[in-house]
Amino acid sequence: MLALTHCLKNEDNEVFILSVNTPKHHFDLKNLPADILSIARWEAVDIDTSIRPFAAFLNLFTNQSYHIQRFYSKEFEEKLIELLEKEIVDIIQMESLFVTPYINTIRRHTKAKLVYRAHNIEYKIWERIIAGMKGGLKKQYLKIQTQRLKKYEWNVINKIDAIVSITPEDKEAFIEMGCKIPVHITPIGINTIDFNLPEHHNRYPVLFHLGTMNWLPNLEAVEWFLKEVWNTLHQKYPALKFYIGGRGMPQYLSRSNTPGLYVFDEVDNAKRWMNEKDIMIVPVLSGSGMRVKIIEGMALGKTIISTTIGAEGIAYTHLKNIVIADTPEEFIKMIDLCISDPELCKTIGRNAKELVVNNYNNKRIGEELNSFYHQTLINSITQ
């Protein structure tokens, strides 16, 4: 979201951000760095989106999605109304499905065009998660909630004026869902110049995974890799090291004494941390949208070994600019290949960097989104 804000600002747009400030990702506006504060005007409203067992149970007796219901706040709605009555805006870009409950409020207080920037197809994430779960009450509850989320997501897409999708796969999914409005693909991008760090290669390859661990698909991915791949791999290569880093690390992983595993609850400098290692492991089994960490790893010239789901949305070529593996056997085979052929790793890394520079550069992404907004939405206001 911050990267896209930079893009819009660089195209001479004035940007105002009203943020849902949750316990999970809480921040203090006063402590934001000056360079971030300078790109937009900021407001935030604290909303407690914590999962509460009793509220989750009572939700069963409604027809609402608990995933969505947790993000509605009267205080946020009041702040939104206050801003809409003061500001004249052309476009309101809703970041993620979880702020779409305010569509009707927005419509009542402004004629601005509404854009839904879809980070994922949300219900598909939960369908994939449920598919990998054992039976029980939790699975049954999540099935009910996933069906409600799907119904909500299908209903919301034609209540807005345009969708900004992150991946071509998500755009096709919206069309299949009956979407009748314009859909523009805006992939996750980065400022590639920020990733021009000196090349770093260890004498013996070092594996790593970096991602927020309180996002369920990341936790699921790491647990699967440790259980299905790592033990066999470490027995074969006793000197091999696997580093895991990310906010929200569960204590049982932080305290793990698994041989060869090194766990970091927080990573102070993600770019430097990644750059000091060689092979990024992305064993994502569920999820939707696009993994920004893959783009960042590619920009650093790293070899990425990912599942097909993990690499969704990226215009990759297997064994040219990324390595794809979907089973334990394939992960072991591909890691074998990378360890035995360091030159192949370097070539894949160089090709990955080239792919990002050509396709996921924020400057080009910002220009294309700005053009879409002006041609498709703003011009229709003035005509």
The per-residue pLDDT for range 264-295, each reduced to its tens digit, is 998 989 999 999 999 999 999 987 778 999 99
- 90-136 pLDDT, tens per residue? 999 999 999 999 999 999 999 999 999 999 899 988 998 898 888 89
CA atoms of 355 and 9, how far apart (whole Å) = 25
- Tell me the average pLDDT across 301-311: 96
Q: Any residues with CB less than 8 A from the CB of 34 and at least 6 apart, and which?
A: none
Average pLDDT, the chain: 92
Angle, helix 342-359 to helix 328-340, in steps of 10 degrees: 110
Say what the pLDDT of residue 56 is: 95
pLDDT at residue number 1: 86
CA pair distance 281, 236, nearest whole angstrom: 17
What is the three-state SS of 310-349? Answer: CCCCCCCCECCCEEECCCHHHHHHHHHHHHHCHHHHHHHH
First-to-final CA distance of the chain = 30
CA–CA distance, 295 with 322 (Å, rounded to integer)? 11
| Dihedral angle computed from the Cα positions of residues 31, 34, 38 and 41, in that order, rounded to the nearest 10 degrees | 10
Full-model pTM: 0.80
Q: Are 84 and 56 in contact (CB under 8 A)?
A: no
Residue 372 pLDDT: 94
